[in-house]
Amino acid sequence: MPTVCLFTRDLRVHDQPVLHAAAEQGDGDVVPLFVVDDEVEGFRVPNRARFLADSLADLDAGLRNAGARLVVRWGDVVEEVRTVAGEVDATAVHVAGDVSAYAGRRREALEKGLGEDGRELVVHDAVVTVVAPGTVTPTSGDHFKIFTPYHRKWAGVETRAPLDPPRGLRLPKGVKAGALPAATDLADGDTAHGLLPGGEKAARARVDDWLDRIDEYGQGQDLPARDGTSRLSPYLHFGCLSPTELARRAGTDSEAAAQFVRQLAWRDFHHQTLAAVPRASTQDYRDRGDRWRRDDEEFAAWAEARTGVPIVDAGMRQLHHEGWMHNRLRLITGSFLTKSLYLDWRLGARHFLGHLVDGDVANNQMNWQWVAGTGTDTRPNRVLNPITQAKRYDPDGDFVRHWVPELAELEGTRIHEPWKHGGNLDYPAPIVDLEQAGSAFRSARGA
């Protein structure tokens, strides 16, 4: 009897436990299904829509190599899955476990609906993360609240050997595949110019290249002017790449590789936090009694990269042009919004999700909360001074010079404080006094 493999954000054929199990149970007869669900706002974000369209086309190619093809449906995910499962009289539907509130609702509704139809829902863990949320737990409590002890235990978990792509799949007769969506079918609006191509093939090529230069990670990781990180985040977000396979391939033999794998543990950490506390996608994980200011003009200046603080504006311009921002800049721009301007982290998180090609509820919301000091940072009241940060992490000013060319004539670190150097620059004055803002935040927090 056939089965259905419901793809969500595990768009690959290598190391794909959901597809493997569905194919095994159906003895090769399987419907690989993707539903463009009306409820998923992320499909309507142009940068992610482009990446998703590429990824679905590539997944279809991978499935054709295995003997099947991708079936695409539009509408309510539960209704579409029930219809397709009914058409082929599937015994079971297989899907990856996931952590967002949406994924939780989807799982419950599928369980109920399929149950009414006499079909089983099989949920597979450790598909979107290396280690499934809930696997690594502290001695008391249901999840780790601090990264370091989480990581210690996480590093000791035995992961499965990666699975090869399946062979000998058959699409049950009479199932119409449906057209693969183009990016413009999914979302209106322009995409960033510097977007990477989506899909498993591009992901695997990028990993091969990255593993050849992973030794740069230790020195280059925090310097945004260098291309010193993997830029694998969108591939991990859409599951074009198995995080388990990536962690195993990277290994921990060198310090740089171990440092890289540690970042994958951060990703898992934020997923386990959100899985345990789903309300943290919209509410403070830890209530610090904040009464965020409201200032639409200051928020607009931040969002439109005209704060007058060059490192902040450079980061925001990178976001808009590439649909991606270096981690150090995400920290600096996030801290500036929440701690220098004392504006609500949710505003920043929403703006990021509207542009990031790797925009991901667990990673984005929990990192924003970390930056705002309402999350899992053990030093929640620290304020990143953007000038100190700029001088440390952009020591020659090259990152700012690239993104804020109107300041290019200022040499070296002079570019980070244009207001000190006079001249007639076409660049605004800072919208806030950084020293004063930092102490205002600390006193608002009573720190």
- Chain residues binding ligand FAD by CB under 6 A are 221, 229-233, 236-237, 263-264, 266-267, 270, 327, 330-331, 334, 352, 356, 358-360, 363-364, 367-368, 371
Q: Which of 139, 133, 148 is nearest to 272 (CA)?
A: 133
Strands 30-37 vs 3-7: parallel, antiparallel or unpaired: parallel
Kindly tell me which of 22 and 264 has the beta carbon lying closer to ligand FAD: 264
CA-to-CA dists, residue 183 to 7, 11, 45, 241, angstroms: 18, 16, 10, 20
Kindly tell me which of 169 and 390 has the beta carbon lying closer to ligand FAD: 390
HSE-CB at 60 with a 13 A cutoff on CA atoms is 15
Q: Which residues contact 407 (CB under 8 A, 6 or more apart)?
A: 310, 400, 401, 415, 418, 425, 427
Question: Shortest approach of ligand FAD to residue 115 CB, angstroms?
Answer: 34
Kindly tell me which of 135 and 327 has the beta carbon lying closer to ligand FAD: 327
Kindly tell me which of 5 and 353 has the beta carbon lying closer to ligand FAD: 353
Question: Shortest approach of ligand FAD to residue 218 CB, angstroms?
Answer: 11
Question: Shortest approach of ligand FAD to residue 406 CB, angstroms?
Answer: 26
Burial 205-216 (b: 16+ CB within 10 A, else e): ebbeebbeebee
Distance CA(369)–CA(291), nearest Å, equals 15
Question: Shortest approach of ligand FAD to residue 382 CB, angstroms?
Answer: 13
Kindly tell me which of 92 and 236 has the beta carbon lying closer to ligand FAD: 236
Question: Shortest approach of ligand FAD to residue 446 CB, angstroms?
Answer: 24
Kindly tell me which of 21 and 275 has the beta carbon lying closer to ligand FAD: 275
Element containing residue 35 per DSSP (H, E): strand 30-37
Kindly tell me which of 11 and 68 has the beta carbon lying closer to ligand FAD: 11
Q: Could you tell me which residues are beta bridge partners of residue 3?
A: 30, 92
Element containing residue 388 per DSSP (H, E): helix 386-393
Distance CA(36)–CA(7), nearest Å, equals 11
Q: Which residues contact 366 (CB under 8 A, 6 or more apart)?
A: 270, 273, 274, 280, 285, 375, 376
Sheet with strand 120-124: strands edge to edge? 71-75, 30-37, 3-7, 92-96, 120-124
HSE-CB at 442 with a 13 A cutoff on CA atoms is 13
Kindly tell me which of 222 and 417 has the beta carbon lying closer to ligand FAD: 222
* Secondary structure class of 344 (helix, strand, coil): coil
Kindly tell me which of 68 and 257 has the beta carbon lying closer to ligand FAD: 257
Kindly tell me which of 29 and 360 has the beta carbon lying closer to ligand FAD: 360
Token pair, residue 236, equals 């991990």
Distance CA(429)–CA(239), nearest Å, equals 43
